[in-house]
Structure 1
């Protein structure tokens, strides 16, 4: 599964990086995938994620790359959804933040169960959601820092589209994503059991 992720991300990085709308925004958006790949590479022998986790990590990286190519406010998929759902703004940013909760929830859940040996139960779900909210809040702090450093140049990276509550909406979407991911707990457990958890 790791080499499938590598191939998908390599293609995604090349295609999204050929002529992005804004090169600095592209780099900031794809940076999490660029950081994640060597971590996954160097730990793959000692710790192999479940197929579910790897598929979601792959998808999340591609979501970042598409958003980086066009900027989240200009992504064609978002415009299509905006028209179809008759929304006031391009919702691709919301999709990205939903994934920012959903994917880390599965990853955190797997690490907590397999590495830290937590018991499956309510505490596990609570900690998974807390970790996802911490990741989301940290990302919002990165966006804030980018806005301070870059001024108006950060507008494409922030993708607020004039929404004064964008930060809160982003964190709420991450919360929804994390909660939705917990619905996959049984499927996730079965996959880990097949791996010998």
Structure 2
């Protein structure tokens, strides 16, 4: 008698309704964090400069959610990045307590939260750029997708550094908290390098996960796409 193999147990996936609720839940959480971060902010001007990206990006994502819904993976990453910005805006990047703890524990010379922020500035936009290119451009499935995604993230990082330069020129010492250089003359180069590492890590670690998230969203990608 041939033994009958048990039927495989299907892997549970998030229901369509729960996937639809996720962006709304994340939007409420980010909005609440933004409001809370405003109270007792170390430097109101720095708070505004650091969180303006959240205040601009969140309404844009909400207004376009029906015409151009984002994958669940990207929504989660954008929310996490928003929280990084909100915390940095509340304390200023050089004074974030968690960064001070890491600095003291490891014997470093500076608070590393600024480096984390610029790593995220490459990591999260890499997934955003990749999703936009896959869904709207002929680069879908192309080997140029990954390198051009990294180039776009570096370009965004360079634009941000130019904005910091403009803030330093117009604000003088008043912009020190926003710049967060902590006395490092190579801070600009380090910031862009961290963004480069972040973008590269995102593509290496999340490309396949992102592909599956796009399929769940209804975007089919060719086999062998990078």
**TM bracket (short chain):** over 0.9
Counterpart for residue 164 of structure 1: 185
Would you say 1:93 and 2:114 are equivalent positions? yes
Give the drift of 1:114.
Answer: 1.0
Residue of 32, 40, 51 corresponding to 2:61: 40
* Large movers: runs of 4+ above 6 Å: none
Supply the distance in 1 between the matched residues of 2:185 and 2:143 (Cα, whole angstroms). Answer: 34
Supply the distance in 1 between the matched residues of 2:80 and 2:97 (Cα, whole angstroms). Answer: 17
The equivalences for 1:116-127 within 5 A come to 116-127=137-148
Give the drift of 1:85.
Answer: 2.5
Counterpart for residue 83 of structure 1: 104
Structure 2 gaps, min length 5: 1-21, 220-226
Q: CA RMSD in A?
A: 1.0
Give the drift of 1:14.
Answer: 1.7
Change (3 A) 1:121 1:82: farther
Supply the distance in 2 between the matched residues of 1:158 and 1:120 (Cα, whole angstroms). Answer: 39
Contact 2:23 2:72 in 1 (8 A): no
Give the drift of 1:88.
Answer: 1.0
Q: TM-score, normalised by structure 2?
A: 0.85
Counterpart for residue 53 of structure 1: 74
Would you say 1:67 and 2:99 are equivalent positions? no
* Deviation digits for residues 121-163 of structure 1 (CA, Å, limit 9, x no counterpart): 4300011000000000000000000001100000000000000
* Deviation digits for residues 73-99 of structure 1 (CA, Å, limit 9, x no counterpart): 000111111123221100000000000
* Deviation digits for residues 4-49 of structure 1 (CA, Å, limit 9, x no counterpart): 2221112211221001000000000000000101210111001111
Give the drift of 1:2.
Answer: 2.1
Counterpart for residue 133 of structure 1: 154
Q: Which has the larger displacement, 116-125 or 86-95? A: 116-125
Supply the distance in 2 between the matched residues of 1:80 and 1:124 (Cα, whole angstroms). Answer: 39
Change (3 A) 1:114 1:54: same
Contact 2:123 2:202 in 1 (8 A): yes
Contact 2:103 2:109 in 1 (8 A): yes
Supply the distance in 1 between the matched residues of 2:142 and 2:113 (Cα, whole angstroms). Answer: 33
Give the drift of 1:117.
Answer: 4.1
Higher helix share: 1
Residue of 168, 171, 185 corresponding to 1:147: 168
Supply the distance in 1 between the matched residues of 2:133 and 2:151 (Cα, whole angstroms). Answer: 12
